[in-house]
Structure 1
Amino acid sequence: MSVRDVIVEKLSVKFTPSHLEVIDESAKHQGHSGSRPEGETHFRVRIATPAFLGLTRLAQHRAVMDTLDAELKAGVHALAVEVVAAA
């Protein structure tokens, strides 16, 4: 399973989002710190979930980062998170 697919699965199970996009932006970062020739190092997550209602932006981002802790420790170098709280 690709890293992207693992991220989608984990976020879907944890937050039951109404909208979820996981975009592999690794190609934009070739040659940068943390990049690998095979990619799957830089991702952008766009997520909308009622689970984030009432949480600060920092708490929302921490929740995503905590959920993906294993991936961040295993080679995901950068993760941009865009959160939209949804009802």
Structure 2
Amino acid sequence: MIIPVRCFTCGKVIGNKWDHYLDLLQADYSEGDALDALGLVRYCCRRMLMTHVDLIEKLLNYNSNPSLSLFFLFCSFMLELFDCL
């Protein structure tokens, strides 16, 4: 699944922070420090990023149909493209 665009509880936009969150985690930030750096102070918004599981990447590992795999990659590319607009 892709990260929801808004927090389910308060409605704050969080969908644009997912890639930055992953970049900060790879730069050896702790989860709390990364969320603080992104300006997420409400625990409901923090929960949305900390508990998100990227299921599309996990499902692609078990796909036996290569054309379906390409379809998922195309869909994820289009989602990233529209997210940048």
| TM-score, normalisation: structure 2 | 0.30
Higher helix proportion: 2
Larger Rg: 2
Higher strand proportion: 1
| TM-score, normalisation: structure 1 | 0.29
